[in-house]
Structure 1
Amino acid sequence: MSLLNEPPHNITVTFSLPPEFSAPLDGDNETVVDVQVINTWQTLSIKHWKHPAIVDGQWNFRFPHRYSDGSVKYRVTIQLFHNGQPLLLEQDHFVIVHQFPHRQTLHLSPVGYLYVEVQEPEMIPPEQAITISLHENESPDVELARVSHDERTATSFYLEYDPEHVLPGKRYVLTGIENRYHQRLSVFPEGIELVPATHPPRSRLLRVIDQWLNEPLRLFTDSLSKIR
């Protein structure tokens, strides 16, 4: 993998949100996108982009591709903020470029809508469907959502769930079962936080106090010799 001598090409990714998602128009809004190369000996930042509004629907985003040969793996992270609160699930999206030009669609998951990809199943009759279950990790019987699909619609779709029944910061699990033979299917993502944990901004004074509390405790007696 070597750097291009001529000006870099641009990779285009299309961010896609579910049609049911409606971005808030009031308050403080922001869209943040980060792109990094991750298949080198260290992570390299390629682009950091901020926009003082929420970009929804389907929209194109471009970042530079500076390598002339070999496959390059990019990690793309995106977040939409409304009044400082994240609207998307925290996920890494990967773009692997083997040759140029390269275009790719990245499906985003807002809170309440999880984009699911299922292992390509073999041909089965529609009445012998595939069941996808979203449930607690420790208690598979405690389900948040359950849907059935035939082989034509089970490869990728949005699974809707109620965020009010989800604990922020807790990881939940997806499982897929082929109903005829009860075989497990590979489902992505396997586990995810369905509501990101919120961390309210802390004042500079609180950060200083926290740093002071985390420093090794120095006893007053340790300084007696200096006082003398």
Structure 2
Amino acid sequence: MSLLPEQTSIVTVDFRLPTDFRAPAGGVNETVVSVKVANSTSAINIKDWRHSSIFDVGWKFSFPHHYSDVGVKYQINVQMFHEQQPLLVELDYFVIVNTAPHRQTLHLSPIGFLYVEVQAPQAIAEHEAVTISLHDVGHPEMELARVMHDEQTATSFYLQYDPGSVIAGKRYELSGIENRYHQSIPVTPWHVELAPVAHQSSSRLSLWISHYLQKPLRLFTDAGGKIR
């Protein structure tokens, strides 16, 4: 990949949120965005951005595009925190840029709202239905949510689910089926972790270190044969 010799071009991402989402008021808030080049032997960091607020409407985010002779796949990680608790589902977002300036819309998934994209077979008539299900991996009968759409409205939408029924750290699966002929339909994201794991082990380690450092420090030179 060659660096652009002159002015750096810009990639602009329009982050969107569901209209029913409301950001918590007050408290300590933070939004964090990280951009890396994904299609390289090792990830190349492009931009890290932090802002002491959170959003309940869409906002624009830009980062530089340094390459001129090859398509670049960027991996974007975005998270919003309220009182150190994440508000968004953990997902990787990808933007492929061949020429810049480039602009693209990304739909973020707050906890309780999962943005779903469906690739329906062309054979489905507009009035015929597809069913989208969010369930345990490998167990479609254990559903968190199920919706039915016609071919037109199933292209992309927010699927709502009850966050209280989600187990932290567990992965769930999306599946789609065309109702008339029972054909499987590709749905993204396929597997998704809907709630973060509480890092209790890290917290316990921090407490142990803190407790240990409060004790008198015993150096190896306290032994009988000291180094002089």
For residues 205 and 13 of structure 1, do their structure 2 counterparts lie closer, same or farther at Cα, with a shift above 3 Å needed? closer
Unpaired runs of 5+ residues, structure 1, are: 212-225
TM-score normalised to the size of structure 1?
A: 0.87
**SS of alignment partner, residue 115 of structure 1:** strand
Contact 1:28 1:84 in 2 (8 A): yes
Equivalences for residues 172-187 of structure 1 within 5 A: 172-187=172-187
Instruction: Identify the residue that residue 91 of structure 1 maps to in structure 2.
Output: 91
Q: TM-score, normalised by structure 2?
A: 0.87
Alignment of 1:31 onto 2:25: no
The residue matched to 2:164 in structure 1 has which SS?
A: helix
- C-alpha distance in 1, partners of 2:198/2:127? 42
Name the SS of the counterpart of 2:207 in structure 1: helix
The alignment-based identity, stated in percent, is 55
CA–CA separation in structure 2 for the residues paired with 1:178 and 1:210: 59
Alignment-derived partner of residue 40 in structure 1: 40
CA spacing shift, 1:23–1:205, aligned 2, 3 Å: closer
Comparing 130-139 with 57-66, which one deviates more in the overlay? Answer: 130-139
Contact 1:16 1:59 in 2 (8 A): yes
Partners of 2:135 and 2:178 lie apart in 1 by: 17
Aligned-residue Cα RMSD (Å) equals 2.4
Alignment match, 1:206? 207
The 1:135/1:210 distance shift into structure 2, 3 A limit, reads farther
After superposing on structure 2, the runs of 4+ consecutive aligned residues of structure 1 that deviate more than 6 Å are none
| SS at 1:141 equivalent | strand
For 1:114-125, list aligned pairs within 5 A. Answer: 114-125=114-125
CA contact (8 A) 1:126 1:149 kept: no
Q: For residue 74 of structure 1, report the CA deviation from its aligned partner.
A: 0.4
Deviation of 1:210 after TM superposition, in Å, equals 11
Distance 1:189 1:205, change over 3 A: closer
Matched residue count: 216
Q: Greater shift after overlay, 131-140 or 88-97?
A: 131-140
The question of whether the paired residues in 1 share the 8 Å contact of 2:73 and 2:94 is answered with yes
Report the 3-state secondary structure (helix = DSSP H, G, I; strand = E; otherwise coil) of the residue aligned with 1:154. coil
CA change 1:27–1:171 in 2 (3 A) is: same
